[in-house]
Structure 1
Amino acid sequence: MLKKDNAAYTRGSIEGTMLKTGFAMLAGTLAMSGYNIADTYFVGQLGKSPLAAMGFTFPVIMLIGCLFHGLASGVMTTSAQALGGGRKSKAAKLVTSGVLLIFAISLVLALLGMSTTGWIFEKFGATGETLEQVKGYMNIWYFGCATASLSMTGNDLLIAAGDSKVASGMMIVGMIINVVFDPLFIFGWGPVPAMGIRGAALATIGSQLVATIAVLTILYRRHGLLRFERIPWKRLKSSWKLIIRFAVPASIGMLMMPIGSAIITRITAAFGDTAVAATAAAGRLEMVAFIFPMALGIPLLSMVGQNYGARLYSRIRVCRRFSMRFAFLFLLAMAVIYFFTAPVLVRFFSPDRDVQKIMTLCMYIIPWGFGMIEIHRYSGFFFTGCGRPAVAAWLNALRILGLMIPLSLLALYLHSLEALFAARLIADVLAGGIGFWLARRMTRQLPEDGMPPPVYAPVSWSRFLPNRLQAFAAAQAHVDSASDTQ
């Protein structure tokens, strides 16, 4: 098979490359939600109890997904930096070590999950038949934990290697296989017995297994980024340390989203079930606006990482200006569309007049912050790609814990639904503005092209340490920076 150019993000027009990869990932972005949509639709045909069981599984699957996304981000960022710097041998070692690490963690999580399924979901409130349905689904899902993690990681690595079209295609193929497997295993056909909700889990595992085999084969044959050879423990430990240095902040930052969502939902519940239903429906409508900016942002981390590894800092500055300007203007246009069409759009989501009224109010206020949300998200990509993943995690914490939750609690105190929506808008605008300022400041301070990357202290509070510990922190930062560029 023809070898692919693994450092394609370091050449050509930034604007053209970003739009090209964004369009390539558009179908894949839509396919990412296809798994849950298909499972929910077919399981819904089984009745209320299996559908309720699916609802109980989402928080656990989301939390584990955040961990895997963080690990994949660590492998993706470090390998992209190595590929951008022309260090393909190091990239291959990082990818191989990362795949082994993720596979090992998947096995540990699978064993822990299967041994604690009943206890965890009893604490969530599942009882009786619903609890048995949850156990049946999750015990199979845990067994296939490795396929979920490796298929996700494989797609991220294809993007890091500049193969966004193939990555998008793999996402679509996996979704299509899942849609075919769902009715087959859930309802049965011919020699295949009907397995109910267990069949939905088996269908997911089967589709992810096919995708995993495909993406790992492509990484091995097309990109040469997987190596089936013995890795010395010292090299393996060094690679794992570098990956985890990026993965831990990424995982923490991603965990902020479900935690914040759960707290905001609880606050919204104080305004009644109608408010919860309306804001949930508005959230689904909101995601439509982000489809293309999300597709544009998927390869952004790899693009920044490759150019950082290649020491092409001027391209990173151009990338930041273009991506943030594009996202802001695109989502500003979507906000205008939502503002004028909200009374019509909400009718497609609920026939209830009270739900429609709250949805309309929500769509009049919140969309004006869409552009700043995406700027905030992109800011995290620039910090991570430039070797500062902890700042990206702090930006997520700032938006959720520092702004959105306190402002929402204030709205609850005022008992004003309008104030609750305004709290979200203010949090998004402030967080986006801070992210924009910090990312612009960071990229402007990058050195000239070809110069060594800057050395950052590993902790922001190191200046308060005793002199000997300050010296140690500075030395450790130098070692970490040097290992990133080798």
Structure 2
Amino acid sequence: MRNRFTSSYIDGPIGSTMLRTACSMLAGTLAISGYNIADTWFVSSLGTDQLAAMGFTFPVIMLIGCVYRGLCVGVMTPTAHSLGGGRRPEAARLVTSGLMLMMLASLAIGTAGALTIEPTFRLCGAGSNVMTYIVQYMLIWYFGSFTGTLGMAGNDLLIAAGDSFTASMLMLFGLGLNVLLDPLFIFGWCGFPVMGIAGAALATVISQAVCGIVALRLLYSRHRLIASPRIPRDTLGKAWKTIIRFAVPATLGMLLMPIGSAVITRIVASFGDAAVAATAAASRLEVVAFIFPMALGIALMPMVAQNYGARRFDRINQCRRFAMRFAGGFLLTMAVIYFFAAPYVVGWFSKDPEVQRIMILYLRIVSFGFAAVEIHRFSGFFFTGCGRPAAAAFLNALRVVVFLVPFSLLALWAGSLVLVFWARLAADLLAGGIACYAARRMTRNLPEEPFGKPQETPAEFQAEAVNESAEL
């Protein structure tokens, strides 16, 4: 049985549905990065040591976030398959089982992380002057990380159910609540106790908890995607096996990104502090070009997965053509803008002439690979949405391990920073081209009956609807 949210993915016009969803997700996409910006801005008022402590926490939080995001993909994709196929009770059992698994994983990771804060961050290079602040922040973050997991999963599942606007507004509301709570807890406004850096962690945990509870309530009342937690053991085991099948490749693929970035940063550091500062600033500016394509991509995978579950392979191919053409046209336009605007915008980030010179080189070279980067990312979504998560992970490994790191090492061996930027461009173009070809070939050769059973008749659909109503 499908509702009005699901039917927009299955029956609505491809282009307008994707663009409408992207526009509705734009605010949420901006809010994702807003949490860190808000916390960093408030904590910077406490002092240099507290700000440095925040800097040390980001890589660890990002790596753990990759695990949680992978679990979200593991729940969202098979859920979208079931929704697309009209099997809502099955989707509800998957969601409930997935939330139980994510709770257990977050509690295990939180406990292990809290017990190993000092050795972990000493390995990261944190000194005794900032360790106290790191412990204050991470203790709250670790034990409250399950709230972030629930919020992340709730938003992803709302998007999978076709309710992207609500998910985006929840993300924006969470950011607003976080900004409101930060000064109350950090500085002790309005009679609250002064908590310092620990207050930033508590504000994040509370805002994520509120959003998670609202999202789960909507999944239960509006979308009927929360089932009874009394799930038979064999059914729970099968659901977890399905979720892990998608979650593990997704997690590995996501972990490759920060690892690859760390290797490239180490290579760039060989050319001096100015090179590190310039590439770091330019990479922040680079993100601006991807804001709208990222919003488009957020709903792309559940849309593909729902159509895969509905056996609408014609629509999957239409989605692929529209998404690839949009990414190519939009980001090639952004590349031209960056090429000509680079000399005028670098002054916003640094007054150092050497830093400005390197930033201009970076933006004028790397930007012409933006389209290939997004096409590569979209291709992974098509493989995951069509039940091939290992292929998506392989594409990520191809870009980082086979192309980006070896090409950058060759540039280092040649002793040229400019060649490092050309190496990035070459890696992006090669990986994007291969991924686009692979996704095109895969979607055009999808099997007619991916689930190994004939198309259900209207009578079978009616019987399933009666059974679903009785169960709900």
TM bracket, shorter-chain basis: over 0.9
Q: Deviation digits for residues 352-395 of structure 1, max 9, x if unmatched? A: 11111100011110000000000000000000000100000000
Query: Pairwise mapping of residues 273-352 of structure 1 onto structure 2 (< 5 A)?
Result: 273-352=273-352
Alpha carbons 1:379, 1:392 under 8 Å: kept: yes
Q: Secondary structure at the match of 2:191?
A: coil
**How far apart are 1:454 and its partner, in Å?**
7.8
Q: Secondary structure at the match of 1:33?
A: helix
Q: Does 1:369 align with 2:369?
A: yes
Q: Deviation digits for residues 385-438 of structure 1, max 9, x if unmatched? A: 001000000000110011000000000011101100000000000000000010
Query: Pairwise mapping of residues 257-272 of structure 1 onto structure 2 (< 5 A)?
Result: 257-272=257-272
Return the letter of the residue paired with 1:337: I
Aligned to 1:21: 21
Is 266-275 or 345-354 further displaced after alignment?
345-354
Q: CA RMSD in A?
A: 1.1
d(CA) in 1 for partners of 2:189, 2:300? 43
Alpha carbons 2:96, 2:229 under 8 Å: kept: no
Q: Deviation digits for residues 277-299 of structure 1, max 9, x if unmatched? A: 00000001100000000000000
Q: Secondary structure at the match of 2:5?
A: coil
Q: Secondary structure at the match of 1:125?
A: coil
Q: Secondary structure at the match of 1:6?
A: helix
**How far apart are 1:129 and its partner, in Å?**
2.5
Query: Pairwise mapping of residues 9-408 of structure 1 onto structure 2 (< 5 A)?
Result: 9-408=9-408
Give the 3 Å change call, closer, same or farther, for CA 434–445 of structure 1 in structure 2.
same
**How far apart are 1:190 and its partner, in Å?**
3.3
Unaligned runs of 5+ in 1: 456-486
Aligned to 2:419: 419
d(CA) in 1 for partners of 2:222, 2:175? 23
Q: Deviation digits for residues 198-218 of structure 1, max 9, x if unmatched? A: 000001001001101110011
Alpha carbons 2:151, 2:215 under 8 Å: kept: yes
d(CA) in 1 for partners of 2:311, 2:346? 48
Return the letter of the residue paired with 1:336: V
**How far apart are 1:349 and its partner, in Å?**
1.1
Alpha carbons 1:446, 1:453 under 8 Å: kept: no
Give the 3 Å change call, closer, same or farther, for CA 186–149 of structure 1 in structure 2.
same
d(CA) in 1 for partners of 2:39, 2:293? 26
Alpha carbons 1:328, 1:372 under 8 Å: kept: yes
Alpha carbons 1:82, 1:90 under 8 Å: kept: yes
**TM-score, with normalisation over the residues of structure 2?**
0.94
Deviating above 6 A after TM superposition, structure 1's stretches of 4 or more consecutive aligned residues are: none
**TM-score, with normalisation over the residues of structure 1?**
0.91
d(CA) in 1 for partners of 2:230, 2:169? 32
Q: Deviation digits for residues 43-74 of structure 1, max 9, x if unmatched? A: 11111100110111111101110000000001
Return the letter of the residue paired with 2:70: G
d(CA) in 2 for partners of 1:137, 1:447? 50
Q: Secondary structure at the match of 1:421?
A: helix
d(CA) in 2 for partners of 1:128, 1:105? 30
Q: Deviation digits for residues 86-109 of structure 1, max 9, x if unmatched? A: 000100000000001001111111
d(CA) in 2 for partners of 1:242, 1:447? 20
Give the 3 Å change call, closer, same or farther, for CA 7–374 of structure 1 in structure 2.
same
Alpha carbons 1:106, 1:146 under 8 Å: kept: yes
Return the letter of the residue paired with 2:264: I
Aligned to 1:468: none
d(CA) in 2 for partners of 1:148, 1:160? 18
Number of residue equivalences = 451
Q: Deviation digits for residues 154-179 of structure 1, max 9, x if unmatched? A: 10000000000000000000000001
Alpha carbons 2:184, 2:190 under 8 Å: kept: no
Alpha carbons 1:50, 1:133 under 8 Å: kept: yes
Q: Secondary structure at the match of 1:5?
A: helix
d(CA) in 1 for partners of 2:117, 2:351? 38
d(CA) in 2 for partners of 1:100, 1:156? 16
Q: Secondary structure at the match of 2:439?
A: helix
**How far apart are 1:7 and its partner, in Å?**
3.9
Q: Secondary structure at the match of 2:387?
A: coil
Alpha carbons 1:7, 1:161 under 8 Å: kept: no
Alpha carbons 1:29, 1:295 under 8 Å: kept: yes
Return the letter of the residue paired with 1:249: P
Q: Secondary structure at the match of 1:446?
A: coil
- Identity percentage of aligned residues: 60
d(CA) in 1 for partners of 2:217, 2:182? 25
d(CA) in 1 for partners of 2:383, 2:180? 40
Alpha carbons 2:399, 2:431 under 8 Å: kept: yes
Return the letter of the residue paired with 1:435: A
Return the letter of the residue paired with 1:181: L
Give the 3 Å change call, closer, same or farther, for CA 409–234 of structure 1 in structure 2.
same
Alpha carbons 1:301, 1:384 under 8 Å: kept: yes
d(CA) in 2 for partners of 1:229, 1:208? 23
**How far apart are 1:118 and its partner, in Å?**
1.1
Alpha carbons 1:7, 1:306 under 8 Å: kept: no
d(CA) in 1 for partners of 2:165, 2:185? 30
d(CA) in 2 for partners of 1:125, 1:334? 37
Aligned to 1:437: 437
Return the letter of the residue paired with 2:347: R
